[in-house]
Structure 1
Amino acid sequence: MNAPTAPVSAEQAMRGMLELIRRTPSVAEITPEVMGERLGLPIKRVTTDHFGYAQPLGDGWAFSVERHQIGDVGPRVDLIFSPTGEDRPAPTPICTPNFGQFTQALEGMGFKRQRARGEHGRWTYDAFDRPGQHVEVYPLVTDGADMAAACVHMVLVR
């Protein structure tokens, strides 16, 4: 697998995740080599069932992508964007593609969409299903922002 010559951007990480979803029919088939090739990242193995990559993005953000075992549920791949400090940085660096663009790409791959709501009817994430795959995309919505312009906070794939 080829290591990137420079740190990747949030956009490269999200486009790589879409490529991983598009080209891999089941999370069970994802090896460190497959993940590295499809994401274009130098994946590190932690244990037999746990491997991934993390890096700072700058402007107060970092990201991680990992495949790990979730109890009896099975393997899951997580792409997560996190603030690096105590401050709440502006989400601009992690907002391309935005939530709407990322989820439209999933629908274009044949996924069926369902909105998940939590306590008091609050929107928590959108779930996408097709045979062999379940994807949850969690929004990062800033105060007063248009829901369509939400950023992607987290993508979980089973």
Structure 2
Amino acid sequence: MASTASDAAAPPTFTAEQLLLGLLDLTKTTHSTSELTVERLSAAMKQPAQTFGPGHFGYGGTLTPEWGYGLEVKKSGSARTRLDLDFIDTTSKQSAAATGICQIGFDRFASELQAQGFARETVRGEHGRVAYEQFQRNGMSVIVDRIGEASTSPQEIAHGCVRHVTVE
């Protein structure tokens, strides 16, 4: 079946699992953020990335009725290259259960990064609250924010989901 111009313009669709696994594929083979190119991101995500401007590219869209996402690389080709993956609660009260973005929980994501040679550090804020988790390897940093899956049971509150990832 031949693709049409409208097929080519259609944004790629992803699941949260595909986004996180693609990001893990990218970090596995990336040793410096200067290697974060549109070609490498497209290969890791198995979909062509959209270019937003010079050195700025990625993806965005809807995951579920409650969750959207943005995956962007900014300042590509510079010493300040940065990748951000953000899962966005699109409900009016910003209180959606994270089940729709939690096919790969935080613990699995963290253990995959550690298996890639990243050292983990928990960064705490006021009253000992976990602010975020930072993973470092050879000058590359991966910062991961997490949230509880839902607020309906102690098990769901304790089950951590990835909410935001920054690679710098």
Q: Secondary structure at the match of 1:74?
A: coil
**Aligned residue for 1:140?**
147
Select which of 107, 111, 118 maps to 2:114. 107
Higher strand share: 1
- The alignment's TM-score, normalised by the length of structure 2, stands at 0.83
Q: Distance in 1 between matches of 2:31 and 2:72?
A: 17
Q: Given residue 104 of structure 1, which amino acid in structure 2 is its aligned partner?
A: S
Distance 1:5 1:45, change over 3 A: closer
Q: Which residue of 1 aligns with 2:102?
A: 95
Could you tell me which residue of structure 1 aligns to residue 92 of structure 2?
86
With normalisation by structure 1, the TM-score equals 0.88
Contact (CA 8 Å) 1:25, 1:133: kept in 2 or not? yes
The verdict on how the C-alpha distance between 1:67 and 1:5 changes in structure 2, with shifts beyond 3 A counting, is: closer
Identical amino acids, percent of aligned pairs: 33
Pairwise CA RMSD: 2.2
Match of 1:154 in 2: 164
Where do 5+ consecutive residues of structure 2 fail to align? 1-7
| Structure 2 letter corresponding to 1:8 | F
Give 1:40's aligned amino acid: K
Identify the residue that residue 16 of structure 1 maps to in structure 2. 22
- Does residue 122 of structure 1 match 2:132? no
Residue 84 of structure 1 aligns with an amino acid whose one-letter code is T
Q: Distance in 2 between matches of 1:155 and 1:6?
A: 20
Distance 2:122 2:11 in 1: 38
1:40 corresponds to: 46
Gaps of 5+ in 1: none
> C-alpha distance in 2, partners of 1:21/1:27?
9
Q: CA–CA distance in 1 between the matches of 2:26 and 2:75?
A: 18
CA distance in 2, matches of 1:138, 1:156: 9
For this pair of structures, how many residues does the alignment match?
Answer: 153
| Large movers: runs of 4+ above 4 Å | 3-6
Query: Bigger radius of gyration, 1 or 2?
Result: 2
